[in-house]
Amino acid sequence: MKKDFISLLDFTPDELQFIIDQAAQLKNAPRNACDLLKGKSFALIFQKPSNRTRVSFETGIFQMGGNPIYLAPEDINLGKREPTADIARTLSRFVDGIVARVFSHDDLLALSKFATIPVINALSDLSHPCQILADMLTVQEEFGRFKGLRLAYIGDGNNICNSLLIACSRLGVDIAVATPAGYEPSPAYVAAARAAARESGAQVFLTTSAQEAASGAHVLYTDTWVSMGQEEETARRLKDFDGFQIDERLAAKADAKHIFLHCLPAHRGQEVAAAVIDGLHSKIFDEAENRLHAQKAVLKFLYS
């Protein structure tokens, strides 16, 4: 049976830890996987523009000996110019894997259903597993452990928040999510996180108070309040998220040795103050670099 990388829900705590440890090893010794994908080609289906995701995947595949083929929105027009099922079946005859960055998670599921090759989630509206693996690698590098840590996610209960809930709860990290009312994360992901937390001993806490979530946190995390495709909601969202900016006053409530993470791109003066994202606690560029290593670890996991 083919293996996909669609959601962190599909992987056990041991598997997630294994991939993170592989990422750390590949970061320190990249030559260990330089021929793993030799002779293999990958279709990169991107419905959304991208900096970190595209460059890190293309670079990672190339470093592992493979051939990335970037397919922009107009190249395929997923599900419009031809059915997604036909695209999945056709690409399965040409390439060895599909990396898809899509608006709708349903498109990923359709690609996975009809493709006979691995499908990797490079972002959907429901989850962003590759980003969160890079985040957890960054946390492990900084603290050397997961157990006993508290991560505070403050902002929109979006795809990043959903995936953080699963990763933290399965790896034993306490997670506190603070969102405005009406912007909570997926109930299904919250339920799955709470079930996983009962096994790992982690705590899952939801609140509408940014101050409550940030208190004692070892990791402060936020994301943009207006994601791609939500531009028409900008005015309303900026109003609804008033009071949820991670600024110096809020950061002071965290642990003295906390780190700040953001998946980027960031909007200084909205979800985060410039003094925080550009400050001494910020690890955003270590986090961005770790996308490369985490994704190479996913590829090694799928193709070894």
Q: Which residues are catalytic?
A: 101, 128, 131, 223, 263, 291
Instruction: Output the CA torsion sign for 88, 89, 92, 95.
Output: negative
Strands 174-178 and 204-207: parallel
- The DSSP output letter for 15 is H
- Residue 203: burial class (beta carbons within 10 Å; 0-12, 13-18, 19+): middle
CA distance 126 to 87: 22
| Overall residue count recorded for the chain in this entry | 304
- Look at the alpha carbons of 212, 276, 139, 55 in this order and tell me if their dihedral is positive or negative: positive
- Cβ–Cβ < 8 Å for 261, 246: no
**Pairwise CA distance, residues 204 & 41, whole Å:** 40
Q: For residues 286 and 4, is the Cβ–Cβ distance under 8 A?
A: no
